Structure 1
Amino acid sequence: MFGLSALFLARFQFAFTVGFHIVFPAFSIGLAAYLAVLEGLWLKTGRSAYLDLFKYWLKVFSVVFGMGVVSGLVMSYEFGTNWSSFSQKAGPILGPMLAYEVMTAFFLEAGFLGVMMFGLNRVGKGLHFAATCMVSIGTLISMSWILSSNSWMQTPRGYRIDEATGRFLPVDWWQIVFNPSFPYRIVHMGLAAFLCVAFIVAGVAGWHLLKARREGRQASEQVRLMFSMAMWMAAIVSPIQVLAGDTQGLNTLEYQPAKIAALEGDWESESHAPELLFGIPDMKNETTHFKIAIPYLGSLILTHSLDGKVPGLKDYPKEDRPYSPLLFFSFRIMIALGMLMVLVGLWSLYLRWKGKLYDTPLLHRIALFMSPAGFLALLCGWITTEVGRQPFTVYGLLRTSDSVSPIALPNIATSMIAFVIVYFIVFTGGITILLRTFAEEPHPDQHGPAEDQPQRAAGTTQVSHQPQPDAGMAE
């Protein structure tokens, strides 16, 4: 069928479904933490704007969480239908880890989600805040188990292979869970989730700041507050993310050097290696065309030494090489977006210092333009990580070609078409709801899901909802 193989279509189908799915858990992780911060600040300060923002973003969270659950269910079926050989061989290790994720994280989230979403006026303020924190902690625990499972596939440890069946059997669960790449990847992913939400919040706030300016009025306290909080997050977290990415790169160089060679477009291992800013890797001719390089920078970045040795793809058999062209560009797009986030964050600090954070339309336009940047960088990072592991599902041990089910191409094609149709219908509807929500400005006495009357912190003075001259400057 069109020259495609069952293996290729099975890989494409999983990439398609997980590419949709990964956006929503990242959104949920960052947004749950943001909701916990907003509610905590409301309880501590009594400032009603925090409660208004909590209710506003709680509606967004309800949609995002639901879409994440729906999109995630499909992948569990794909393991059985398209990747049964992989499930059979890696199941003794990955099966318990995914079960732990359900028992420790999903049950925690599901148990407190209803209280968080519908109990603001039905339970005590302390209990409701505890429920919000439990949901946030649950998303982080879920992320930890999923990343531990995936990291084991990248850097497998603590196993033995049964000679009769070829199955991976656990020997040391501590080594399995806390495998060499896991600590670096969980930090990188967690920070990525926070940045994704920070730039979405900044984009929404930027839109309303520009709208207020066009209408000749001052933006509301709620809009200014969430823009201030988002810019603080961008300014603080984006530089830390760059450092976290650097440490992960060092770890990848140690345990997956072929991936580093592929994403750098290097064919010959060399010391004093340059950094390629641009090029077009050619897998057939084993070269990179149209190179634009900075001398010595490759060795400096990858090894922290000017004469450090950088691996080349020719060090590895052709059948063991990742596909360099895709890795080369996905990695550079991710880096470029990360650098833009750092610049926006630093610029916001300067404008905050000058007292012009809310009076610079160019920053607000850039924040609006950059609102999907976190998710785009996340997807590019996922492509870099997963494509760089190829041609293996368990790095160096189990090939992707040996992991696929003995399923016919027409069957995969049928399910692929069904997935594409259903996903675009469902997720187009979900995205439409989110955009309509974003178009509404947060306002006083914002109603959350199933809330009839706003609840204010007891014993506090009612805070005016009119924008104050210094509103948000201290956030």
Structure 2
Amino acid sequence: MDPLILSRIQFAANISFHILFPSITIALGWVLLFFKWRYNRTGDTAWMRAYFTWVKIFALSFAMGVVSGITMSFQFGTNWPGYMETVGNIAGPLLAYEVLTAFFLEAVFLGIMLFGFSRVSNGVHTLATFLVAFGTTLSAFWILALNSWMQTPTGFEMRDGVAHAVDWWAIVFNPSFPYRLIHMLLASGLTVSFLIAGFSALRFLAGDRSDSMWRALRTGVFAGAILIPVQIFVGDQHGLNTLEHQPQKVAAMEANWETRANVPLVLFAIPDEKARENRFELAIPNGASLILRHSTDGIVPGLNDYPGNHPPVFPVFWGFRIMVGVGVMMLVVSWTAGFFLWRRQTLPKPLALLMVPMALSGWVAVLAGWYTTEIGRQPWLVTGVLKTADAVGPVAGGQVAFTLAVYLVLYAVLLLAYLSVLYYLAMKAAKDGDTSPLPAVLDTPLSQPAQN
């Protein structure tokens, strides 16, 4: 059992489970703030009922993200000691900034947001919601700054095999960071939009016609319909940036073997790395050249220019296509649902049934995109600086295999439990409708503090 492969799978399993929850909390905090702002503006308690439903899901997701993040961070020392030994002078401070700014901000004000409805004024509670939402975005800022630096490292110098920072501005705002940050924030927005829409569609199918359900449903559908075209544009710009700085990754995404002009857009293929060709290829003539170079005769880099220094083609090629395919589904479903909600003020049952599984479509797209990004960096852990094989620790393959099995079982149980709670909350909300009691703060004027 190869410790390198097992360690990579174990870290992939940990980060795959972990990223599910920040992909929700990053955007959900802002949705909660929107619900609260709408209540403050209109006095309509349906907005606060939507807030109370989704703040529970935020709290659960936040807790799951924190626990899985701690587990993941341990592996820097147990499985990948070479990483911190080589680039710890850069990775360490960026991770510390995330904890000292974003995590503390979230942790301090999360309690007020969750339990302060009847203990602080409405204005303070709204401020707490804003600070928690800001904290989740600030957390994404620091984590993506580090991850982007690993993809396109700048602002450092090597001394005796160790990276030392010489320009922190260049390190944080490295060439791929702005694209990666915006792409991830939009991905979180889409994840939450479809989660809210699917959750609300489940309530709709259970017979719930409450105002709070309609408020949440419309928010999710219309937010998704707006964000997905923006994400398509940003994704295109991100792809052009990747072409400039990581051409071998783009070559793997397109399964293009030879550097040439008039490269087709491969829709379906089974890449064969041994034969250096694609089997069962279905392609659109000149499509890749048009997308990547904005010209049908544009030259696209080929994998054969990077012998032994390009990522595995199959997972990168298919990860990218799954991400794009899910994005197209999001576009069709959100615009269709938006049409019915705008014109007919209701949903056809078949469309509602489709929207329920689409509640998890954001997770699928995020994971597919994350695999494309991270596998596409191989064989490098930090591009041009540290190879993955040089960072793995001296841990026996059997030990890694055992802990990997434990992680997989634990994560499967936790994920099932998480989804079960979401289903329970949806059914409870559908049953209660707009009849459940509200906290005392709602019985006081918006500008006045509530009494215990």
Q: Same fold (TM over 0.5)?
A: yes
Match of 1:257 in 2: 247
Give deviations 1:109-156, integer Å, cap 9, x for gaps: 011010000001100000000000000000000001000000000000
3-state SS of the aligned residue for 1:371? Answer: helix
Tell me what 2:358 maps to.
370
1:159 aligns with 2:156: yes
Q: Distance in 2 between matches of 1:339 and 1:21?
A: 25
The 5 A counterparts of 1:351-370 are 351-353=340-342, 355-370=343-358
Give the Cα separation in 2 of the matches to 1:421 and 1:143: 28
Tell me, which stretches of 5 or more residues in structure 1 are unaligned? 213-217, 461-475
Alignment match, 2:229 = 239
Are the equivalent residues in 1 in contact too, given 2:187–2:366 (CA < 8 A)?
A: yes
- Pick the aligned partner of 1:85 from 82, 104, 108: 82
Listed one character per residue, the Cα deviations across residues 367-426 of structure 1 (whole Å, up to 9, x for unaligned) are: 113111111000000000000000000012211000111222122123222222333333
Q: Deviations over 1:58-81 (max 9, x none)?
A: 111111111111110011110000
- Alpha-carbon spacing, 1:173–1:133, altered in 2? closer, same or farther (3 Å): same
Taking the TM superposition and a 5 Å limit, the aligned residue runs for 1:279-428 are 279-317=269-307, 319-353=308-342, 355-428=343-416
Q: Report if the CA contact (8 A) 2:199-2:356 is conserved.
A: yes
Which of the residues 198, 203, 222 maps onto 2:193?
A: 198
Identity %, equivalent residues: 41
- For 2:351 and 2:410, the matched residues in 1 are separated by 37
Q: Which moved more, 1:273-282 or 1:355-364?
A: 355-364
Q: Secondary structure at the match of 1:186?
A: helix
The equivalent position to 1:223 in structure 2, one of 213, 218, 230, is 213
**8 Å contact from structure 1 (residues 48, 456) kept in 2:** no
Structure 2 SS opposite 1:268:
coil
Deviation track 1:41-97 (CA, whole Å, cap 9, x = no partner) reads 111110110010100111111111111111100111100000001111010001000
Cα displacement string for residues 288-340 of structure 1 (whole angstroms, at most 9, x for unaligned residues): 111101011111111112111111100111x2120101111111011011011
Trace 1:25-36 onto structure 2 (pairs within 5 A). 25-36=22-33
Moved more, 253-262 or 224-233: 224-233
Deviation at 1:211, TM superposition (A): 2.3
- Structure 1 range deviating more: 39-48 or 415-424: 415-424
Give the aligned partner of residue 15 of structure 1.
12
Report if aligned partners of 2:28, 2:58 keep a CA contact under 8 Å in 1: yes
Name the amino acid aligned to 1:150: N
Quote the offset at 1:227 in angstroms: 1.0
Q: Is the 8 A contact 2:211 2:434 kept in 1?
A: no
Residue of structure 1 equivalent to 2:115: 118
Deviation by residue 1:408-448 (Cα, 9 ceiling, x = unmatched):
2122123222222333333333332222112222533656x
Separation in 2, partners of 1:61, 1:85? 35
Which residues of structure 2 form unaligned runs of 5+? 448-452
CA distance in 1, matches of 2:338, 2:419: 31
Aligned counterpart for 2:445 among listed residues 416, 439, 458: 458
Is contact 2:4–2:392 with CA below 8 Å preserved after alignment?
A: yes
Q: Is the 1:56–1:446 Cα contact (8 Å) retained in structure 2?
A: no
AA matched with 2:119:
R
Q: 1:432 and 1:349, CA in 2 relative to 1: closer, same or farther beyond 3 A?
A: closer
Kept in 2: contact 1:446–1:454 (CA 8 A)? no
Secondary structure of 1:393's counterpart equals: strand
- Aligned-partner Cα distance in 1 for 2:350–2:165: 55
Alpha-carbon RMSD: 1.6
Residue 70 (structure 2) pairs with residue 73 (structure 1): yes
- Whole-Å separation in 1 of the counterparts to 2:446 and 2:305: 70
1:440 aligned onto 2:435: no
Instruction: For residue 209 of structure 1, report the CA deviation from its aligned partner.
Output: 1.6
Aligned 8 A contact 1:109 1:138 in 2: yes
Measured at CA, do residues 139 and 459 of structure 1 come closer, stay the same or move farther in structure 2, by a change above 3 Å? Answer: closer
Deviation string 1:274-296 (CA, Å, 9 cap, x unpaired) is 10010000011111111101011
Q: 1:98 maps to what in 2?
A: 95
Scaled by the length of structure 1, the TM-score of the pair is: 0.91
Contact kept in structure 2, 1:42 and 1:457, CA below 8 Å: no
Task: Show CA shifts across 1:190-244 (max 9, x none).
Answer: 00001101101111111122222xxxxx711111111111111011001000001
Question: TM-score, length-normalised on structure 2?
Answer: 0.95
